[in-house]
Each structure stands twice: as structure tokens, then as C-alpha cells.
Amino acid sequence: MDIHGKDIRVFCGNSTREVSRQIAQGLGLSLGNAIVSRFSDGEISVSINESVRGSDVFVIQSTCYPVNDNLMELLIMIDAFHRASAARITAVMPYFGYARQDRKAKSRDPISAKLVANLITAAKTDRLLTMDLHASQIQGFFDIPVDNLLGVPVLLPYFLEKFKNRKENLAIVSPDIGSVKRARKFASALNAPLAIIDKRRQRANESEVMNIIGDVRGRSCVIVDDLVDTAGTLVHAAEAIVDKGGAKEVYACATHAVLSGRAVEKIKNSPIKEMVFLDSVPLPEEKNISKFTVLPIAPVFAEAIERIYDNQPISILFN
């Protein structure tokens, strides 16, 4: 593909190879020839086996588990492309790790999301393309352009089709105050009422459901969130709207399937009938239970990359 004088090259690290292949395929390209391996002491080795001089390079890498290894792979690849005279380097991070550490929750806390932003910028990245940052203000941590795609336009068509004949008994649920804006878009598109779970977090990775704001009695409910990590918040919300709210059935969706610890077991044993994710984080076979449905992000990322390359607006992708 050569639209305006520079060629486009798409490379990837080890975290999202299959998604990267699908994105490249959507652009009519093959993945660039790069090998990311380890030296005997664990240091990361990157070999770029083709010229990128003057090229518009897109490096695809989610910083999911193992987070630090994947982040270092990304930084070292960016440095390699910079030293190989790439004209522009865009870091494509479907999932941005450390995004939950976006502020000081108590004295002497780090703001790790800002540190990661500094590292990515210092590596000579020209632009960042990501999806559903846990805290949208992280865009302001960067001194380079940041495009934060939304998972809602990918997830919505699935639920529009699923509930097309029974929207009148549907309710959309936000599992906490932070997800209200995302859930409200869902509710508006489905013409369904919105309910909010008011929770109080006692300590990290633990939450306690306190109250349900809104009426879910007798309704099919869809819980909408940006990510599922330990699944504590999600499962507590599902149990609350069934046991306390009297919901008829519960579905859930989230962009990022982080799924650490006993998350899969918790969801499997919960009232949730179906859990829908996007494939921004690879879902290993051993974690892919029958309740899970995984939708592809490749089409929206391929279009975003093509628009960035051709200097076209990507605002159409937010609708």
C-alpha cells in the first residue's frame, strides 16, 4: 500500500500475533519480518529483517500479561525502528497496561500510567492508537497524539441483534460510577433504562456492592464495563441485580479480558449467562469457557490505521 509517498509497514510483538495478522490482512498486507526473542539471561532481543527507512511503521502490541515483558518488547521495537530511520512510528496498543494507576489514591503512590506514557514518548514514538483506556484522562499524559478507540461500537451490534425482539424488557447496568458514560451509550442505542451499582471498595481487587440505583426487576440485564480483571466487581454486580434487584437474567460485556487469578472460575459459577469480550487481550484456550463470546477488533483497528496513514479523520469510528 502506497498512498502518499511513504509505504506502510505493520509489525507486532509477541502479545497479540493473531490479532496483528488479522489487522494486517484487513489492510491487504503481510506482517513485517521481525523476530522478538530472549537472550539466555532473559533480556529481550529484537531483529528487524527488512528495511523501514522512510516508512510509516505501526507496531501492534497489547501490554497484557506478562505486562512488563510486553511493554519492554514494545519499547525496544520502537527504538529499533527509530534507529532504522522510519519516517513515523505509531504504537498500536489494543490494551494499555498500567492504565488503572492513573492517580494518587493515597500518599506516596506512584502514577504509573504517566510513567509508561513518558517511556513510550521517550522511545521516539510519534503517535499512540489504543482502545478503551481505563481512564480517558490518560490521553493528557502524552505529549504526542493519542487516538482512543471505543469498544462500544464493536459490542453494540451484537446486543442489538441479540435483543432485537425483546428490547422492552431490557436494562443496561453500569457496575460502578466510572462506567456510567459507557453504559449510558449502550442504554441509549438500545432504548433501554440504565441502572447503576453503587459499590465501596475495601481494598485492591476487592469490592462490596452497596446499592442498586434503578429498576431491574423482571428484566434481562446487560452489565457493561471496560475490562474484567479478577471479576470481583462484575460477579458481585451480577449477584446483586439478581438477588437484590430481582433481575430475570444477566449478560455482561467488556472490552478487555484480563482475567487474572480465579476470574474465569468466578464467572463460570456466577449468574451471568453469557460474557462477551473483544480480543484486545488474547484469550488462552484453557480460559475460554462456554459462557464466553469473543468479537474481533481487527476491522476497526485496520480502518483506523488506514485513516491515520492517509491523514483522514478517525472520528467516524466513534459512532
Q: Give the Cα separation of 316 and 319 in Å (integer).
A: 6
User: So what's the pLDDT on residue 2?
Assistant: 45
Q: What angle do CA 57, 59, 65 make, to 5 degrees?
A: 175
Q: Which three cell numbers stand for residue 309?
A: 496513514
Q: Which three cell numbers stand for residue 276?
A: 462477551
User: So what's the pLDDT on residue 204?
Assistant: 62
Residue 120 has pLDDT above 50, yes or no: yes
Residue 5 has pLDDT above 50, yes or no: no
Residues of the chain with CATH 3.40.50.2020: 8-150+298-318, 152-295
DSSP H or E stretch at residue 242: helix 232-243
pLDDT band at residue 234 under the 50/70/90 scheme: very high
Q: Which residue has the higher pLDDT, 165 or 43?
A: 43
Do the Cβ atoms of 77 and 34 come closer than 8 Å? yes
SS3 63: coil
Do the Cβ atoms of 212 and 224 come closer than 8 Å? no
3-state helix, strand, coil in the chain (%, to 5): 35, 30, 40
**pLDDT, tens digit (0-9, with 9 covering 90-100), for 6-62:** 899 999 999 999 999 999 999 999 999 999 999 999 999 999 999 999 999 999 999
**pLDDT, tens digit (0-9, with 9 covering 90-100), for 65-91:** 999 999 999 999 999 999 999 999 999
DSSP H or E stretch at residue 228: strand 220-228
Instruction: Name the one residue in this structure whose C-alpha cell is 500500500.
Output: 1
User: So what's the pLDDT on residue 1?
Assistant: 47
Q: Give the Cα separation of 20 and 11 in Å (integer).
A: 8
User: So what's the pLDDT on residue 4?
Assistant: 45
pTM: 0.93
Residue 264 has pLDDT above 90, yes or no: yes
Do the Cβ atoms of 225 and 252 come closer than 8 Å? yes
Asked: is 152-295 a CATH 3.40.50.2020 domain? The reply is yes
Residue 142 dihedral angles phi and psi, to the nearest 5° = -100, 145
Mean pLDDT of 170-192: 92
Q: Which three cell numbers stand for residue 169?
A: 424488557
Residue 252 has pLDDT above 90, yes or no: yes
Give the architecture-level CATH label for domain 8-150+298-318: 3-Layer(aba) Sandwich (3.40)
Residues acting as catalytic residues: 199
Closest CA to 294 of 149, 155, 134, 150: 155
User: So what's the pLDDT on residue 76?
Assistant: 98
